[in-house]
């Protein structure tokens, strides 16, 4: 989980709580009509407090909502397959670009236009790098 670097507004906190509460309801109700009924009741509870102007009262309501969600969370929450914790999360590993440098010349010959363009872009990147940061010195490149 990433550490939030900016302040999160009260509105965004409320929206996040609402979405997490809906996801929690999905874990409990596998039948769509029952889930929709509970979702409408949940939305009604949020709408009742929509126009609270006093920020202290709003903050208390938010804390109570977070506490209630924590106490009523499903023991085995439903997860999307490709989301963290899902069964297919990070299943397909994408190899990094440098792997192509180790292809055999006969393999590269099957895609001549691609590798010609790739070599051109590598040269452009090296030129940009040297212009931006300077050429690497002998000490930093590991050659003594």
Query: Are 15 and 65 in a shared domain?
Result: yes
Whole-angstrom distance, CA of residue 92 vs CA of residue 24? 28
Query: Are 65 and 106 in a shared domain?
Result: no
Q: What is the pLDDT along the chain (144 residues), one digit of tens a residue?
A: 566 667 889 999 999 999 999 999 999 998 999 999 999 999 999 999 999 999 999 999 999 999 999 999 999 998 889 888 889 998 888 899 999 999 999 999 999 999 999 999 999 999 999 999 998 877 765 555
Judged on CB neighbours under 10 Å (0-12, 13-18, 19+), 25 is: buried
Number of domains in the chain: 2
Q: Does the residue 129 lie in any domain? A: yes
Query: Are 101 and 65 in a shared domain?
Result: no
Q: Does the residue 78 lie in any domain? A: no
Is this prediction's pTM over 0.85?
no
- Given a contact cutoff of 8 angstroms between Cβ atoms, the answer to whether 13 and 62 are in contact is yes
Query: Are 14 and 67 in a shared domain?
Result: yes
Query: Are 50 and 15 in a shared domain?
Result: yes
Structural domain containing residue 113: 97-133
Q: Does the residue 63 lie in any domain? A: yes
Query: Are 15 and 63 in a shared domain?
Result: yes
* Phi and psi torsions of 141, nearest 5°: -85, -5
Q: Does the residue 127 lie in any domain? A: yes
Query: Are 58 and 102 in a shared domain?
Result: no
Q: Does the residue 50 lie in any domain? A: yes
Q: Does the residue 101 lie in any domain? A: yes
CA dihedral defined by 114, 120, 121, 124, rounded to 10 degrees?
180
Q: Does the residue 110 lie in any domain? A: yes
């Amino acid at each position: 989980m990433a550490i939030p670097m900016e302040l999160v507004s009260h509105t965004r906190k409320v929206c996040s709580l609402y979405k997490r509460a809906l996801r929690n309801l999905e874990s409990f109700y596998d039948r769509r009509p029952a889930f929709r009924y509970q979702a409408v009741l949940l939305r009604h509870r949020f709408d009742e407090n929509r126009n609270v102007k006093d920020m202290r009262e709003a903050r208390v309501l938010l804390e109570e909502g977070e506490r209630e969600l924590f106490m009523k969370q499903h023991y085995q929450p439903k997860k999307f397959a490709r989301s963290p914790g899902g069964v297919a999360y990070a299943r397909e590993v994408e190899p990094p670009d440098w792997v192509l440098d180790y292809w055999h010349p006969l393999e590269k010959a099957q895609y001549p236009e691609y590798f010609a363009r790739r070599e051109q872009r590598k040269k452009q990147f090296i030129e940009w790098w040297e212009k931006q940061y300077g050429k690497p010195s002998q000490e930093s490149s590991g050659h003594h």
